[in-house]
């Protein structure tokens, strides 16, 4: 144990060999690094262990054995430590064991975690299972005998056993379906292990002849295995006295994999050509971990994405070539796109599900045929984060948005800094690289771009950075920097700055409106109209705002809210929509008040226009419609403005 002794990795390598040294290193804690919090330290330990696991899966096998032993001896710990370790085991280690197909370890870890997290519930359910065991003994014995006899009559050599569901799965079923213990009938299940795959289906037919199957309760995990390689036929039957019984049917090889999972036949010195299907699935999962890690900026974010990727419930969908892909339940078309390939995810624009076009946010279901449509210049949309489910998709989208925001913010920050330097009578081109390097070192930043991005995002004041930069360049005399009164150049807003500049939703400014730029520490530079009520309190603080003006050459479209009072006649919406289209505008959103048989009704439109002149032309055309009584531009809640 490298972290608890003076032994080094080199000494272990010399005594036990390089492989053992790598395994020990993968499991060793990072005690010598100082972290901001215990949570961050723990997250970094997970990150290191999981990355080591992606190189050699035995790292996690050793860790799971260690965790199983820790959980078995948890009695001696204080209650709060018991709960912390149990929660960590339930959130991270049990799902990993499940993902690797280590069924027995998975169930044992869940039950032990349950015991320490909810001791009273554990005791109650444990006692109820013991009582039920006695009550149902006769029924279970009768079912076992009848199954064995039916298979024997058909000359099928099979091992038939009864099994109890483990306690935590009973508890999950009770809480998930909101039922009492007495309403759970499949506490006992039956397992039939036969010689080979064809015999599994033959046995299924015989059992369906013996007891009637319950419709919709059959699952074929042989044709479509679970992501961890698990294969079995699951069926639920009406047993004697109307008791539902759950039966699993599998071959001997499937049974070994179900118990030991990836450890059943993990080959270490093998080529990809000889990898079993289970090993390939495990390898793909570990590869996904590496992808998530490469896109995650810190260990806590990596751990968050990793937890998302441990979902046990899955849906199985088909690619256009017929390949089966497993995704978490609730995954969308965007998750599928990233699961196929990162580039497909980054460039997806539409999806065909079962040969029909559908929105990218569409949730996928078992058996769907999914085809992603891409475009060369497309890129991830921030709105995707509201509905993607997989860790890989979330990590790649966040990484792209962060890099884009950083690049755009750095460009804006450079313009703001140059503005401040000119106000201090300094030429930005005279600031050399040495001055920048000294400033980067003083700030503890990684690069010049990081400082510029901070200026663009409002995390650093452009005037203060300009003073310090001039001091580094030797262009300013000693003493405290004097902040200039508002003599800064005006920053031109082109509308193409991307995420670095945001247009306030409260007043929706458009070219032609008098505007002010406000520096928000979370959002960067936010553009408001000069009379927006939301910024009244900031106008007294000159450090919060910048002089900005519209670029006369800008040609992008901006959203504007309009409120129309119209006569309540048939076809009004069609007339208005047609007029908006003729004015070369586009409707972004429309809502109406419910009809109450009154003569007039309110219509609210969000339309896209180029500038104030374009808006005035659109409103002039709308006023010409005979049944339009009044039209207002809406600028913030309760702040309507007539545009003449």
Neighbours of 495 (CB within 10 A): 20
Q: What is the band of 499 on the pLDDT scale with cuts at 50, 70, 90? A: low
Residue 620 included in any domain: yes
Under 8 Å CB-to-CB from 23, ≥6 apart: which residues?
52, 56, 58, 59, 62
Q: From 499, 522, 551, give the residue that closes a domain.
A: 551
Residue 424 included in any domain: no
One domain for residues 349 and 361: yes
One domain for residues 165 and 256: yes
pLDDT at residue 281 tops 80:
no
Token code pair at residue 111: 């039950």
Average pLDDT over residues 333-354: 91
Catalytic center residues: 3-4
CA atoms of 137 and 523, how far apart (whole Å): 65
Angle at CA 568, nearest 5°, toward 566 and 570? 115
Closest Cα partner for 163 from 259, 286, 34? Answer: 259
pLDDT at residue 77 tops 90:
no
Q: Is the dihedral of CA 70, 72, 74, 80 positive or negative?
A: positive
One domain for residues 320 and 341: yes
One domain for residues 161 and 230: yes
One domain for residues 257 and 132: yes
Q: What is the band of 267 on the pLDDT scale with cuts at 50, 70, 90? A: very low
Q: Is 35 helix (H, G, I), strand (E, B) or coil?
A: coil
CA atoms of 246 and 346, how far apart (whole Å): 43
Average pLDDT over residues 391-401: 83
pLDDT of residue 542: 64
More confident residue, 314 or 568: 568
pLDDT at residue 32 tops 50:
no
Taking only the tens place, the pLDDT of each residue in 509-525 is 888 888 888 877 666 67
pLDDT at residue 562 tops 80:
yes
One domain for residues 248 and 301: no
The number of domains in the chain is 5
Give every strand in the sheet of 586-592, ordered side by side.
586-592, 600-609, 558-567, 628-634, 640-641
Q: What is the band of 350 on the pLDDT scale with cuts at 50, 70, 90? A: very high
CA distances from 98 to 226, 400, 491 (A): 10, 31, 56
pLDDT > 70: percent of the chain = 75
Residue 497 included in any domain: yes
pLDDT at residue 377 tops 80:
yes
The pairing of beta strand 586-592 with beta strand 545-550:
unpaired
Q: From 123, 149, 184, give the residue that closes a domain.
A: 123
pLDDT of residue 206: 92
CA atoms of 88 and 65, how far apart (whole Å): 15
One domain for residues 244 and 137: yes
Residue 437 included in any domain: yes
CA atoms of 488 and 463, how far apart (whole Å): 9
Residue 243 included in any domain: yes
One domain for residues 166 and 64: no
What is the overall mean pLDDT for the chain? 79
More confident residue, 349 or 134: 349
One domain for residues 494 and 595: no
Angle at CA 637, nearest 5°, toward 632 and 640? 20
Decide: 530 and 516 in contact? Cβ < 8 Å: yes
| DSSP secondary structure letter of residue 89 | I
More confident residue, 288 or 426: 426
One domain for residues 242 and 288: no
Token code pair at residue 68: 């199983």
Decide: 604 and 590 in contact? Cβ < 8 Å: yes
C-alpha neighbours within 13 Å on the C-beta side of residue 163: 15
Decide: 315 and 329 in contact? Cβ < 8 Å: yes
Say which range, 119-133, 243-257, 274-288, 595-609, has the weakest mean pLDDT.
274-288
Taking only the tens place, the pLDDT of each residue in 441-483 is 887 888 888 888 877 777 777 777 887 788 777 754 444 444 4
Decide: 632 and 642 in contact? Cβ < 8 Å: yes
Average pLDDT over residues 495-520: 78
Residues in the chain: 644
Decide: 31 and 38 in contact? Cβ < 8 Å: no
CA atoms of 410 and 305, how far apart (whole Å): 27
One domain for residues 241 and 306: no
Decide: 52 and 59 in contact? Cβ < 8 Å: yes
Angle at CA 567, nearest 5°, toward 561 and 571? 85
pLDDT of residue 642: 41
CA atoms of 299 and 297, how far apart (whole Å): 7
pLDDT of residue 271: 43
Burial of 1-29, coded b for 16+ CB within 10 Å and e otherwise, reads ebeeeeeeeeebbeeeeeeebbbbebbbb
Q: From 232, 261, 290, give the residue that closes a domain.
A: 261
One domain for residues 475 and 519: yes
Closest Cα partner for 230 from 242, 241, 219, 221? Answer: 221
Residue 465 included in any domain: yes
Q: Residues 581-589: contacts with CB within 8 Å, 24+ apart?
A: 582/621, 583/614, 583/617, 583/618, 583/621, 584/614, 585/609, 585/614, 585/618, 586/557, 588/559
pLDDT of residue 378: 85
First to last CA, the chain: 79
More confident residue, 474 or 629: 629
Taking only the tens place, the pLDDT of each residue in 404-420 is 777 777 887 888 888 77
Token code pair at residue 327: 């995704």
CA atoms of 192 and 151, how far apart (whole Å): 10
pLDDT at residue 23 tops 60:
yes
pLDDT of residue 484: 45
Q: What is the CATH number of the domain that holds 314?
A: 3.10.20.30
Q: What is the band of 423 on the pLDDT scale with cuts at 50, 70, 90? A: confident
CA atoms of 237 and 190, how far apart (whole Å): 11
pLDDT > 90: percent of the chain = 19
Report yes or no on whether pTM surpasses 0.85. Answer: no
Say which range, 62-76, 482-496, 506-520, 537-551, has the weakest mean pLDDT.
482-496
CA atoms of 32 and 506, how far apart (whole Å): 50
pLDDT at residue 31 tops 80:
no
Taking only the tens place, the pLDDT of each residue in 199-256 is 999 999 999 999 889 888 888 988 888 766 788 999 988 877 667 788 999 998 888 7
Quickly tell me which residue has 């993990």 as its tokens. 266
Decide: 229 and 253 in contact? Cβ < 8 Å: no
Taking only the tens place, the pLDDT of each residue in 289-312 is 666 666 555 666 666 656 555 545
Residue 417 included in any domain: no
Average pLDDT over residues 12-40: 70
Q: Is the dihedral of CA 307, 312, 315, 317 positive or negative?
A: positive
Taking only the tens place, the pLDDT of each residue in 158-205 is 999 887 778 888 888 788 766 676 666 556 688 999 999 999 999 999
More confident residue, 161 or 139: 161
Say which range, 47-61, 74-88, 249-263, 329-343, has the weakest mean pLDDT.
47-61
pLDDT of residue 274: 40
Residue 410 included in any domain: no
More confident residue, 590 or 520: 590
Q: What is the CATH number of the domain that holds 24?
A: 1.10.3210.10
pLDDT of residue 465: 81
* Structural domain containing residue 345: 281-397
Q: Strand ranges (DSSP E) for 185-282?
A: 188-194, 213-220, 233-238, 244-251
Residue 370: alpha-carbon gap to chain centroid: 20
């Amino acid at each position: 144990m490298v972290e608890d002794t003076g032994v080094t990795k080199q000494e272990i390598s010399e005594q036990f060999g390089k492989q053992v040294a790598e395994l020990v290193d993968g499991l060793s804690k990072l005690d010598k690094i100082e972290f901001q919090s215990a949570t961050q330290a723990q997250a970094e330990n997970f990150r290191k262990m999981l990355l080591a696991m992606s190189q050699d899966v035995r790292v996690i096998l050793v860790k799971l054995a260690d965790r199983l032993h820790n959980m078995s001896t948890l009695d001696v710990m204080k209650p709060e430590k018991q709960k912390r370790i149990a929660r960590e085991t339930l959130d991270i280690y049990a799902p990993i064991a499940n993902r690797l197909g280590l069924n027995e370890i998975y169930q044992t870890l869940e039950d032990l975690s349950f015991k320490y997290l909810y001791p009273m519930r554990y005791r109650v359910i444990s006692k109820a299972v013991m009582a039920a065991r006695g009550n149902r003994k006769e029924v279970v014995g009768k079912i076992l005998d009848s199954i064995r006899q039916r298979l024997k009559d058909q000359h099928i050599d099979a091992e038939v056993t009864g099994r109890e569901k483990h306690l935590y799965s009973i508890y999950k079923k009770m809480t998930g379906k909101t039922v009492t213990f007495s309403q759970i009938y499949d506490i006992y299940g039956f397992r039939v292990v036969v010689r080979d795959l064809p015999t599994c289906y033959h046995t299924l037919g015989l059992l369906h002849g013996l007891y009637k199957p319950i419709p919709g309760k059959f699952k074929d995990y042989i044709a479509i295995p679970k992501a961890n390689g698990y294969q079995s036929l699951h069926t639920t039957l009406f047993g004697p006295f109307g008791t539902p019984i759950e039966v699993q049917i599998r071959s001997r090889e499937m049974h070994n994999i179900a118990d030991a999972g990836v450890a059943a036949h993990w080959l270490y010195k093998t080529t990809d050509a000889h990898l079993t299907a289970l090993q390939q699935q495990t390898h793909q999962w570990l590869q996904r971990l590496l992808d998530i890690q490469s896109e995650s900026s810190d260990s806590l974010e990596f751990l968050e994405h990793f937890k998302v990727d441990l979902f046990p419930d899955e849906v199985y969908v088909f690619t256009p070539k017929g390949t089966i892909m497993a995704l978490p339940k609730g995954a969308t078309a965007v998750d599928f796109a990233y699961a196929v390939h990162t580039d497909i995810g980054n460039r997806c624009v539409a999806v065909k599900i079962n040969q029909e076009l559908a929105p990218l946010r569409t949730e996928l279901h078992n058996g769907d045929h999914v085809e992603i449509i891409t475009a060369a210049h497309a890129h991830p949309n921030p709105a995707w984060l509201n509905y993607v489910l997989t860790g890989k998709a979330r990590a790649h989208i966040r990484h792209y948005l962060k890099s884009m925001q950083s690049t755009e913010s750095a460009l804006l920050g450079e313009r703001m800094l140059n503005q401040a330097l000119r106000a201090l009578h300094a030429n930005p081109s005279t600031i050399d690289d040495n001055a920048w390097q000294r400033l980067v070192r003083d700030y503890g930043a990684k690069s010049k771009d990081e400082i510029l991005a901070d200026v663009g995002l409002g995390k650093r004041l452009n005037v203060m950075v300009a003073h310090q930069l001039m001091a580094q360049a030797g262009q300013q005399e000693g003493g405290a920097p004097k902040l200039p009164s508002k003599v800064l150049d005006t920053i031109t807003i082109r509308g193409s700055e991307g995420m670095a500049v945001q247009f306030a939703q409260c007043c929706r400014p458009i070219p032609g409106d008098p505007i002010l730029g406000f520096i928000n520490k979370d959002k960067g530079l936010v553009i408001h109209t000069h009379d927006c009520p939301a910024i009244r309190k900031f106008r007294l603080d000159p450090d919060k705002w910048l002089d900005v003006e519209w670029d006369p050459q800008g040609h992008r479209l901006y959203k504007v809210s309009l409120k129309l009072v119209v006569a309540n006649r048939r076809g009004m919406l069609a007339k208005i929509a047609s007029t908006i289209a003729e004015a070369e505008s586009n409707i972004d959103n429309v809502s109406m008040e419910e009809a109450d048989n009154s003569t007039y009704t309110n219509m609210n439109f969000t339309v896209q226009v180029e500038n104030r002149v374009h808006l005035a032309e659109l409103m002039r055309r709308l006023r010409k419609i005979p049944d339009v009584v009044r039209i207002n531009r809406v600028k913030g809640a309760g702040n309507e403005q007539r545009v003449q």
